[in-house]
């Protein structure tokens, strides 16, 4: 399956583009490796040609066309083999930060998979230092980064234990969350209960992936067993009206990434996407880019897509931007500042319209 063509950002009317770009934004669901721009990945591929990731742009674009979710995971794992030194990590963080800042993202919770880099031979202390070095460079671009550390589900409980061991000893400043990524099928959430309990004891919020390619029970397990206070994806909750009502009543946000859902086959078309149904049911939803470098998207594009495909007004888009800020773990002062800027952008748009 090739990555689907959604509405091209180049073919939109300018006012929508301008308004979306002007909105200050928070990004809650974006993976360090998957967010790397093609240019950044090409640089790493040329630095490490032995990995076999294409070293020319056309080849890389073809490499990032996914037949299904399992194929996406295979490509993701191979691309991760490009990140073998602290310098690679710092360059990735700085590059992702600059790309997000280019979409007027003021704050992002960047998902990092420590076990992947530790298994590539990066020393535990050097990984933490590299993350901080990249974060400092990103701050120069005007964006504040925070960390969500996740377990690669395909590596099972041993990876979860290695991950929390590293977090307990080396988690750098800005650490806010603990997650679980990778495939959902065959990766039962309850096996990680103790690992997530250790993370919560450190003050890290539980934000696992669930209900992207599996049914609503995975979402229930994430909440009831892992103590999730926010869910990565969670779109299949729509299949259980009782669960939808519980999500709405408890105010548990879903981190939704429409283009990602299309590219991995989690939904066949945007017409089938439950975004509007979840929102109409009172579920807290946020827009995110997930793996923008691999899915050829940006957070601006996700907001533009929501305007076009989900028929959201400018006021709706501003509300989504506020919701992401509110659902984030950013400092209160930063939240207030970004919300005020969102309100100002919307007020100016309404005044001009």
Per-residue pLDDT of 24-52, as tens digits, reads: 999 999 999 888 888 888 888 898 899 98
Contact 265/272 with Cβ under 8 angstroms? no
Mean pLDDT of 126-145: 97
Strands in 209-210's sheet, in edge-to-edge order, are 209-210, 231-233, 254-256, 285-287
Q: Which of 324, 268, 230, 279 is nearest to 23 (CA)?
A: 324
Does 14 map to a domain?
Answer: yes
Count of CB atoms situated within 10 Å of the CB of 90? 21
Pair 243, 237: CB distance under 8 Å: yes
4 occurs within a structural domain: no
Does residue 3 belong to any structural domain of this protein? no
Residue 220 lies in a domain: yes
Q: Which residues have a catalytic role annotated? A: 212
pTM above 0.85, yes or no: yes
* Residue 338: closest CA among 48, 27, 46, 35: 27
* Count of domains forming the chain: 1
Cα distance from N-terminal residue to C-terminal residue, the chain: 41
Dihedral of the alpha carbons of 69, 71, 73, 77, in degrees to the nearest 10:
-170
Tens digits of per-residue pLDDT, 285-336? Answer: 999 999 998 898 999 999 999 999 999 999 999 999 999 999 999 999 999 9
Provide the residue range defining the domain that includes 107. Answer: 9-352
pLDDT recorded at residue 289:
97
What is the rounded CA–CA span in Å between residue 284 and residue 1? 31
Asked, for residue 2, whether it belongs to a domain, the answer is no
- pLDDT reported for residue 353: 67
Whether 81 shows a pLDDT value over 60: the answer reads: yes
- 145: helix, strand or coil: strand
**Secondary structure letter of residue 228 according to DSSP:** -
Gap between the Cα atoms of 286 and 183, Å rounded = 22
Calpha distance 329→204 (Å, rounded): 10
Mean pLDDT, residues 73-77: 83
Q: What is the CATH number of the domain that holds 283?
A: 3.20.20.140
Structural domain includes residue 315 = yes
pLDDT value, residue 11 = 38
Residue 43 domain flag: yes
Residue 209 is assigned to a structural domain of this protein? yes
Average confidence (pLDDT) over 80-105 = 92
């Amino acid at each position: 399956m090739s990555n689907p063509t959604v509405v091209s950002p180049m073919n939109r009317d300018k006012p929508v583009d301008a308004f979306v770009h002007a909105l200050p934004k928070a990004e809650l669901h974006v993976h360090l490796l998957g967010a790397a721009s093609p240019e950044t990945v090409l640089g790493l591929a040329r630095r490490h040609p032995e990995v076999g990731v294409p070293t020319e742009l056309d080849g890389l674009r073809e490499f990032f066309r996914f037949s299904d979710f399992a194929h996406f995971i295979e490509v993701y794992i191979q691309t991760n083999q490009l990140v073998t030194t602290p310098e690679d990590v710092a360059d990735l963080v700085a590059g992702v930060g600059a790309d997000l800042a280019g979409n007027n993202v003021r704050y992002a919770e960047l998902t990092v998979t420590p076990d992947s880099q530790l298994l590539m031979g990066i020393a535990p202390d050097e990984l933490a230092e590299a993350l901080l070095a990249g974060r400092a460079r990103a701050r120069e671009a005007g964006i504040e980064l925070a960390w969500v550390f996740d377990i690669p589900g395909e590596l099972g409980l041993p990876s979860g234990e290695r991950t929390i061991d590293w977090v307990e000893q080396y988690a750098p400043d800005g650490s806010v969350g603990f997650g679980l990524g990778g495939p959902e099928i065959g990766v039962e959430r309850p096996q990680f209960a103790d690992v997530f309990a250790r993370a919560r004891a450190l003050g890290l919020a539980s934000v696992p992936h669930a209900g992207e390619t599996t049914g609503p029970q995975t979402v229930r397990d994430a909440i009831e067993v892992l103590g999730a206070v926010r869910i990565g994806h969670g779109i299949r909750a729509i299949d259980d009206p009782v669960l939808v009502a519980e999500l709405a009543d408890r105010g548990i946000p879903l981190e939704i990434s429409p283009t990602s859902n299309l590219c991995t086959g989690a939904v066949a078309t945007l017409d089938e996407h439950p975004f509007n149904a979840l929102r109409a049911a009172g579920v807290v939803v946020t827009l995110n880019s997930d793996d923008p470098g691999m899915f050829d998207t940006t957070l601006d594009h996700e907001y533009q897509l929501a305007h076009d495909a989900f028929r959201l007004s400018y006021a709706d888009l501003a509300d989504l931007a506020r919701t992401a800020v509110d659902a984030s773990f950013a400092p209160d002062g930063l939240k207030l500042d970004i919300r005020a800027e969102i309100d100002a952008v919307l007020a100016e748009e309404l005044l001009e319209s």
